A and B are shown apart, each in its own frame.
Chain A
Amino acid sequence: MSEVIVITSGKGGVGKTTAAANLGTALAAADKKTVMVDTDIGLRNLDVVMGLENRIVYNLVDVIEGNCRLKQALIRDKRLSNLYLLPAAQTRDKSAVEPEQMIKLCETLRKEFDYILLDSPAGIEQGFKNAVSGADRAIVVTTPEVSAIRDADRIIGLLEAAEMQKIHLLINKIRPDMVRNGDMMSVEDVEEILAVPLIGVVPDDENIVISTNRGETVTGKECLSGQAFSNTGRRIMGEDVPFCDLSGKKSIWHRLFKK
C-alpha cells in the first residue's frame, strides 16, 4: 500500500526541502520505492539539494500538461536505485497546476511507488493547496523559533480544516546547548504549544550545510542529523523508535567527570 506524504511548514527556511531530501533517502535506503515531488513551481530547490540539477529534462508541469510521459520526467538518484525525483518547473508560476491535476498525478504515482513525498512551497497560497490536496498525511516542519512555530500553528489549523487524516511534527535545527542554557525552546515546549504528535527531532548540524554544498544528503552518514532523519524515516514506516535525547541535559558521565 502506498502513502502520499506532504512536507510543509508555512514559514520558509526551516528545512522543508532538506527534510524531504533526507526522508526520501531514509525511506529508499529502507528498501521502499520512493519518489520526491518538488511542488514549488517557479522556485525549485529539491533537485539542487539532491545534486540532480544537471539531469533535468522534463518537469512536473510537463507531465501535467502532457508534454512528456511520467517516466521521462522522473530522475533517478545518484546512489539509491529506488529513489526518484520529479522536479518542479522553474519558468512557470503556481497557477500552472490545479489541485485536481495534483490528485490525479498522485494517483498515477501510487501505482509505481511505496512512498510519494511532496515538498510543498512555503506560504499558504495556491502552491500549498496543490501540495496538500493529493496527500494522505502531512509532516509539518518547524524550528524552535517564535515565528516558525506560529506559522506551523496556522498550517496545522489549515490542514485540520482540510480534514488531513494524520498530521505530525518534525522539529528541526535544535541546539541542545542553547536549550540547556534556557535560550531556546525545548522539544517539549514546542509540543505543548502545537499539540501535534512528534515524528522527528533533528539537531542543528553543520554537516547539513556541507552535504548540501556537495549535493548529497546526510542520511546514512555517521552524524547526528543523519541518524535523526533515518529514525524519522523508520517512524514514518510505522516503527516505534525512541527519540534521541536533545534536551541538552548532561549525561551521568558528563556530570561525574566533566564538571
Chain B
Amino acid sequence: MLFNGKKSCGIAKDRLKQLVLTDRMGCSPEILDMMQRDMVTSMSRYMNIDKDSIEFSIRRNPGRFEASVPLSAISGRHTF
C-alpha cells in the first residue's frame, strides 16, 4: 500500500470543510483557530464539552454560522 490509515475521502472532506469555512468567513486559518480556541475556553467554563469533535460551518442563503458542540458526558445532573 502506498498510503496507510484513514480513507482519503474522509481526509479530503475534513480539509475541504475547513477551507470552505475560512473562505466563507474571509479570514485566515490562524484567525479561525484563535476563534475556535476562544469559544472552547469560554464554553468549557460552563459545560463538559468534547473539544476534539467540535464542528463549525457557515451556511449561505440565509447566511448562518453553526457550531456543533458535543458534550463529553451529561452527568452530575442537578438535583435540588
Q: Determine if chain A interacts with chain B.
A: yes
Q: Identify the stretch in B11-19, B42-50, B66-74 within 8 Å (CB) of chain A at 4 or more residues.
A: B11-19
B61 adjacent to chain A (CB < 8 Å): yes
Q: How many residues of chain A have a CB within 8 Å of chain B? A: 19
Tell me which residues from 157 to 214 in chain A have a Cβ below 8 Å from any Cβ of chain B: 157, 160, 179, 181-186, 189, 193, 195
B-side interface residues, number (CB < 8 Å): 16
A179 and B17 alpha carbons, distance in the complex (Å):
18
**Cβ-closest chain B residue relative to A183:** B8
Chain A, interface SS category:
helix
Q: Roughly how many angstroms separate A149 CA and B24 CA in the complex, as a whole number?
A: 13
Q: What B residues does A186 contact at CB under 8 A?
A: 9
**CB nearest neighbor in A for B59:** A195
Query: Nearest A residue to B61 by beta-carbon distance?
Result: A160
* Inter-chain contacts of A189 with B (CB < 8 A): 9, 13
In the complex with contacts A157-B60, A160-B61, A195-B60, A150-B9 CB distance below 8 A: no
Q: Which residue of B lies closest to A192 (CB)?
A: B13
Q: Please give the residue numbers on chain A whose beta carbons come within 8 Å of chain B beta carbons, in ascending order.
A: 145-146, 149-150, 153-154, 156-157, 160, 179, 181-186, 189, 193, 195
For the complex of A and B, list the 10 residue pairs with the smallest distance between their C-beta atoms, beginning with the closest: A182-B7, A182-B9, A146-B16, A153-B20, A150-B19, A183-B8, A146-B12, A185-B9, A185-B12, A189-B13
